[in-house]
Structure 1
Amino acid sequence: MKLLPVLVLAALPFYCYAESTPGSGCTVVNQVISQAIDLEVGAEQFIENLREFIPDAEAEEDIIQVKQCFLQQSEETLTNVQVMVDAIYNSVWCKAY
């Protein structure tokens, strides 16, 4: 993964710091995760939904590759990803935040 998308993803929690929603505590992060693992959301729709966070064409290509990876997974695997995300957010280490 390129450095720029990593920096964008690192900055996203600061954008969401003030929100208090279940899961990550950030509506935007929760939406991105749910859309990433949703087989009904195609790569083009995923990009359009994230357009305001994509700085350039290179980052867009990286995001498309990530979404394509999720689209190639079975429903069982995607369900397990959601279980893993929920376990992380409900862990002892995240509850403090």
Structure 2
Amino acid sequence: MKLLRVLLLITLPFSCFAGSGCSSLDEVINKAIDLQVSIGEYQNILKPFSNGPGTDEALGQLKWCFLIQPEKTMSSVAEMMDIIYQSKWCDNS
């Protein structure tokens, strides 16, 4: 659970971009927290951004961290991401 918090805090600065129109980053976050997306599918989605087998392995481990979380936790993460997108820190107007 601590790892999940750390990962989310790391992505916080990038989250505003996802909520403000960066569809690629938005897709990466949504696919990471989607329990229906397998590790292989996640790696394939991010293949264009991979630097090789080491990156693929790291992406697999990242996705695995999300897959072992209970569904309720993942729905809370999705809700939290929506709150971040709508926060005053992501206000680009």
Same fold by TM-score, threshold 0.5 exceeded? yes
Task: Please tell me whether residue 83 in structure 1 is matched to residue 79 in structure 2.
Answer: yes
Identity %, equivalent residues:
38
- 2:57 aligns with 61
| Distance (whole Å) between structure 2 residues aligned to residue 57 and residue 82 of structure 1 | 29
| Distance (whole Å) between structure 2 residues aligned to residue 79 and residue 24 of structure 1 | 21
**Runs of 4+ in structure 1 displaced over 2 angstroms?**
none
Task: Please tell me whether residue 29 in structure 1 is matched to residue 30 in structure 2.
Answer: no
The aligned length equals 79
Question: TM-score of the superposition, structure 1-length normalised?
Answer: 0.72
Higher RCO by CA contacts (8 Å cutoff, separation 6 or greater): 2
Distance apart, 1:96 and its partner CA: 2.5
What CA deviation, in whole Å up to 9, does each residue of 1:4-33 have, x standing for no partner? xxxxxx9xx6xxx7xxxx724211111111
Unaligned 5+ runs, structure 1: 1-9
- 1:41 aligns with 37
